[in-house]
Amino acid sequence: MEKQILTTKNVKLSYGDFEALHGIDLAFNEHEITALIGPSGCGKSTYLRCLNRMNDQIDGVNISGEFKLHDTDIYGENTDVVELRKHIGMVFQQPNPFPMSIYDNVVFGLRVAGVRDKAKLDEAVQTALKQAAIWDEVKDKLDQNALALSGGQQQRICIARALAVSPDVLLLDEPTSALDPHSSRQIEATLLQLKEQYTIITVTHNLQQAARIADRTAFFLQGDLIEAASTKQIFMNPEHEQTRDFITGRFG
Amino acid sequence: MDKIRESILTTSRASKLERRGKIISLTCLGGICLVVVAIFGFIAYRGLMTFTSDHVSIIKFLTGTEWNPSVSKNGAPLVGALPMIAGSFLITILATVLAIPFAIGTALMMTDITPKTGTRILQPVLELLVGIPSVVYGFIGLTVVVPAIRTVFGGSGFGILSGTFVLFVMVLPTITSMTVDSLSSVPKDYRSASLALGATRWQTIYKVVLRSATPGILTAIVFGMARAFGEALAVQMVVGNATLMPYSLVAPASTLTSVLTTGIGNTVMGTVQNDALWSLALILLLMSLAFNLAIHLIARRGAMKR
Ligand SMILES: Nc1ncnc2c1ncn2[C@@H]1O[C@H](COP(=O)(O)OP(=O)(O)O)[C@@H](O)[C@H]1O
Ligand SMILES: [Mg+2]
């Protein structure tokens, strides 16, 4: 049995009167990539944002259920959201580097955490950019504005930025959907390397991508988790009819 | 075949309309350009008279501290505009500097801190403040600010400080609403990314939101300054209108605009006194050009950063 790092039980979320998640039980193994798939609007992003409490800011949201990172309650009374997010990093659908230099982007998380030591920051930048597989491309222009880079490069800067604070879990919400196929493949390769050190949860609407990189795959449908199993099983021999229909492209 | 040919070769009603529309808008545009050029030309022509036909040196005009156009000394009239130039700049800068923190604070309330209630309450207030005529501001300044300053600092109460307070209220809505625009144009994604990296809301505001919005905020400030620099009536009512160097903030002073509004009706076209006022108007015009230029430069630099 793999070690579970993040577990959620009976997760329900409603935006005002609209219930977007109807009770999700899902757990994530350490050093694995889990892909969340499902038709658009089924609640994948909503669920993902619960994990690092990004839904907290939205007005009228009601969240219930049990969320545990190791044994710590993510929504516990004494849980500091700011600290929590250093353990659970996030990369968004649209590459969103800040309008500042590559260097300043990558050290952002460390700086807000109070790290001032230049040597430490330099080292973190190098490590994070190497992990995100973009060091060679940008090492000579770290002081250049990150927005001058291509979309794929920007997304890898965003990955590096998330990695620089050394999270345990990395959440990615359709990280390649705004990118061309070549850049997408580069990001996929990067994620495969990263799982040695991180636990990765990625939403994707690209089924081939899930098949290529994910160890486990979870299929969402209209706010319910239909099935979660090894990627192989989901794609070769799913238990549920709906999963089969989705995988074979009969809907969604 | 012939039918197609005929229909393509004859000018349709739609393209005739299109041509007519084009001619109308071009004529309007040409008219406006003509007016602008005429205004510039006229002010420059009259404004330069002081130097060409009245033999005042430009240096003396800009650095002289004595303003008394009807008196001549050494063959040239006494038209030192420095007191007014200094007064204008002082009042503008003080009012803007005072307004900046309030404007940014208010704008942040509306975009980031309490967007719902902030916008609901502050938006109408700002619109109201913009709509109040300047004479009303001047009147309030005259009946409230001037006596208050008289009580606190002594003297007459008229002066740069009173002007500063009145202008502060007048530029605040301008700077605030433009700052709101620039803050809300910062992508929501930046805020999410910053929070997701473990930044607090306050860190997100000052490290990401304010920083990304800086070009826009600077533009807002320059707009506010331009408004302050050009405001005449309200300032004239509280500044004291003494053409003396503003050595004290609570002593009567004057600005370019206040001297113009008080003086222009009391002089005869073509006289030295009148020419000197036109020269002040020319300075005002050049300054508003400078403000415009600054706004464009900031906008361009901001655009390059993106
Ligand atoms: N901020 C929000 N307010 C209200 N409803 C929302 C909000 N975000 C998402 N939803 C709704 O919740 C459902 C799930 O959305 P989402 O999690 O974005 O789906 P997915 O990422 O799987 O495409 C959708 O019906 C969507 O309209
Ligand atoms: Mg989504």
pLDDT digits (tens, 9 = 90+) for B149-192: 999 998 899 999 999 999 999 999 999 999 999 999 999 999 99
With an 8 Å Cβ cutoff, are A89 and B194 in contact? no
Q: What is the Cα Rg of chain B in Å?
A: 25
Break chain B into its structural domains and give their ranges: 1-52, 82-305
Handedness of CA B76, B77, B82, B85 (dihedral sign): negative
Distance B195 CA to ligand 2 centre (A): 18
Please check the confidence at residue A251 and state whether its pLDDT lies above 70: no
Chain B residues with CB inside 8 Å of A109's CB? Answer: 197-199
Per residue, the 3-state secondary structure of chain B, as one string, reads CHHHHHHHHCCCHHHHHHHHHHHHHHHHHHHHHHHHHHHHHHHHHHHHHHHHCCCCCHHHHHHCCCEEEEEEECCEEEECCHHHHHHHHHHHHHHHHHHHHHHHHHHHHHHHHCHHHHHHHHHHHHHHHHHCCHHHHHHHHHHHHHHHHHHHHCCCCCCHHHHHHHHHHHHHHHHHHHHHHHHHCCCHHHHHHHHHCCCCHHHHHHHHHHHHHHHHHHHHHHHHHHHHHHCCHHHHHHHECCCCCCCCCCCCECCHHHHHHHHHHHCCCCCHHHHHHHHHHHHHHHHHHHHHHHHHHHHHHHHHHC
Classify residue A41 by its DSSP letter.
Answer: T
Say what the pLDDT of residue B2 is. Answer: 80
For residue A44 and ligand 1, the question of a CB distance below 6 A is answered with yes
Burial class of B29 by CB neighbour count within 10 A (0 to 12, 13 to 18, 19+): exposed
Please check the confidence at residue B304 and state whether its pLDDT lies above 70: no
Q: What's the pLDDT tens digit per position in B260-296?
A: 998 888 888 888 889 999 999 999 999 989 998 998 8
Share of chain A above pLDDT 90, in %: 91
With an 8 Å Cβ cutoff, are B196 and A94 in contact? no
The rounded mean pLDDT for chain A is 93
Asked which of A90-104, A153-167, B6-20, B34-48 is least confident by mean pLDDT, the reply is B6-20
Residue found by looking up tokens 């005009």 in the block: B61
Residue B5 — pLDDT band, cuts 50, 70, 90?
confident
Residue B305 — pLDDT band, cuts 50, 70, 90?
low
DSSP-based three-state secondary structure for A205: coil
C-alpha distances in Å from residue A206, one per residue of A85, A222, A229, B33, B146: 27, 18, 17, 56, 70
Torsion of Cα atoms, B196 then B202 then B207 then B209, to 10° = 80
Please check the confidence at residue A252 and state whether its pLDDT lies above 70: no
With an 8 Å Cβ cutoff, are A112 and B199 in contact? yes
Residues of B with CB under 8 A from a CB of A: 116, 187, 189-190, 192-200, 203, 207-208, 211-212, 305-306
Residue found by looking up tokens 């109308």 in the block: B24
- The pair of three-digit structure tokens given for residue B221, joined into one six-digit string: 């400030």
Domain B82-305: state its class. mainly alpha
Say what the pLDDT of residue B303 is. Answer: 65
Nearest CA residue ID for atom 25, ligand 1 = A41
Chain A residues with CB inside 8 Å of B198's CB? Answer: 82-83, 85-86, 109, 112-113, 165
Distance A40 CA to ligand 2 centre (A): 7
Say what the pLDDT of residue B4 is. Answer: 84
Please check the confidence at residue A1 and state whether its pLDDT lies above 70: no
Closest B-chain CA to A81 = B198
Cα distance between residue B231 and residue B287, in whole Å = 13
